[in-house]
Structure 1
Amino acid sequence: MTLIELIHYFKINGNQDEFYKNNSLDLASEVIEIYMEKPFNTKNKIALFEIEKTQGKVEYEVENIKYYNLIDFYYFLDFIEDSKNKNLTNEKLAEILLNYCINDA
């Protein structure tokens, strides 16, 4: 899944619990974090991990693939909620979010 696809899923009222179950994420996790391989790009695959697994590390390696923390899932959900009244494409929203993650977070 890419950041664009994740945005699309939640923009059309995706269910958080269903998403967690479909992606084998622990519903009881304190925080789910969104990670991406470098170089960062809106079309790169993302990975989601529970903070209990990553221990909040900026870099997290799984099966010899290095992922880098972008943002926690709750902030992502707030971003989606705030974007629902804006007339922006999923691609543009992904660009805005990724830019924020890289430069401001």
Structure 2
Amino acid sequence: MKLLELVNYFRSGGSYEEFCESHSLDQESEVVEIYMKQPLKIDNELAFFEIEKTEGNFEFSDNGTTYCNLFDFYYFLDAIEDSNNEENQSFTNEEIAKLLYNYAINDA
């Protein structure tokens, strides 16, 4: 799954519980983190890991692939909620994905 697909899923009403279930993630985890395959490019595949697995590391390797932490799901879901308010509804999913990506690589 890519960042744009993740934005599409949640902006169209997808639930966190269903997402966790379909990706075999523990909903009871302290936090699920969103990682991107390195080197970072907006169209790279994402990976999702519980913080208990990554121990909060910025870089994390899984099955021989190195990933970089973008942000956690709490931040992402807050951003999606904000994107659906009246003031921000005019943003396209692609614009939201670009804003999130730019935040992750420039401000995090």
Q: Work out whether 1:98 is the aligned partner of 2:104.
A: no
| Aligned partner of residue 6 in structure 1, secondary structure | helix
Unaligned runs of 5+ in 2: none
Deviation at 1:10, TM superposition (A): 0.3
Give the Cα–Cα distance (whole angstroms) in 2 for the partners of residues 99 and 68 of structure 1: 14
| Aligned partner of residue 27 in structure 2, secondary structure | coil
Deviation at 1:91, TM superposition (A): 1.2
Q: What is the TM-score of this pair, normalised by structure 2?
A: 0.93
Residue 82 (structure 1) aligns with: 82
What is the root-mean-square deviation of aligned Cα atoms in Å? 0.8
Give the Cα–Cα distance (whole angstroms) in 1 for the partners of residues 41 and 79 of structure 2: 18
The alignment covers a number of residue pairs equal to 105
Identity between Structure 1 and Structure 2 (%): 53
Describe how 1:1-105 pairs up with structure 2 within 5 A.
Answer: 1-85=1-85, 86=88, 87-105=90-108
Query: Do 1:42 and 1:91's aligned partners in 2 also have CA atoms closer than 8 Å?
Result: no
Give the Cα–Cα distance (whole angstroms) in 2 for the partners of residues 8 and 41 of structure 1: 18
2:69 partner letter: N
Q: What is the TM-score of this pair, normalised by structure 1?
A: 0.96
**Which consecutive segments of 4 or more residues in structure 1 shift more than 3 A?**
none
| Aligned partner of residue 35 in structure 1, secondary structure | strand
Give the Cα–Cα distance (whole angstroms) in 1 for the partners of residues 22 and 10 of structure 2: 14
Give the Cα–Cα distance (whole angstroms) in 1 for the partners of residues 45 and 37 of structure 2: 7
Unaligned runs of 5+ in 1: none
Query: Do 1:59 and 1:66's aligned partners in 2 also have CA atoms closer than 8 Å?
Result: yes
